[in-house]
Amino acid sequence: MATTPAPLAGERLTAAPSRSDRLPRHVAIIMDGNGRWARSRGLPRIEGHRRGVASVRRTTEQCVRLGIEQLTLYCLSSENWRRPEAELSFLMVLLEQYLVEERSLLQKQRVQLSMIGRRDGLPAATLAALDKTTDLCAANDGLRLCLAINYGSRAEIVDAARRLAREARDGGLDPDAIDEQRFAAALDTAGTPDPDLLIRTAGEMRVSNFLLWQISYAELWVTDSLWPDFDEPQLDAALSAYARRERRFGGLGQT
């Protein structure tokens, strides 16, 4: 049974917003708690990851229904390679299986697929499944689903700095011309809107090296629910909380 999400201080859960102009364009989610979900039930950690795939499907389908423009899911951080080898091998197999089995559904729902993160170190079979599914979904014009795999935001920022440095060294870029827009264009997320809403499950109050540049003005919503328990009503609750907030972007807002 899904647990009740814990709102941030001062927030009250309501139904999903009915006005599309109050929905975020881009929702990013730190999917946390698979291992704790399994442990609390006396199951191996891999079973938590398996059940977490169902939450990915539910969340993606709900975003499609609501007309969300982009959904970015933190699937595997660059720090996760410290986990046991057997668990990592299972995660790669599970990811490959998801990419193959979900193709027809992604096509039916017109979902466009992309990845951010370093490809180095990922199994060839996983990359092949990812590339094939990405190609098959390339012409779709619905929700953009971005999977952050072997991703770390600090590494992304370092890679962007290196790209710009090489361009400047080769004479193709004036260093004084580098501004926030030019730097953002060198990131893995170039051409996509910054997240408006960042959701984290499992009650952890940290961003875990996820989209550090991009979430500068994102609204945060944290739930105690573990990722395998995350469902449509909880996503709706997060969206309702977002819809009630006034986004000032450093200004004074409305008076």
Annotated active-site positions, please? 32, 80
CB 186 within 8 A of CB 128: no
- What does the block give as tokens for 7? 């709102």
How far is residue 205 CA from its own chain's centroid?
16
- Long-range CB pairs of 186-192, under 8 A, 24+ apart, other chains included: 186/160, 186/161, 187/156, 187/157, 187/160, 187/213, 187/214, 188/116, 188/117, 188/151, 188/156, 188/159, 189/116, 189/146, 189/214, 192/26, 192/70, 192/144, 192/146
Residue appearing with tokens 């229904």: 65
Number of H helices, E strands in the chain: 8, 6
Please tell me whether residue 128 adopts helix, strand or coil conformation: helix
Phi, psi of 59 (to 5 degrees): -65, -45
The CB density around residue 59, as the number of other CB atoms within 10 Å, is 24
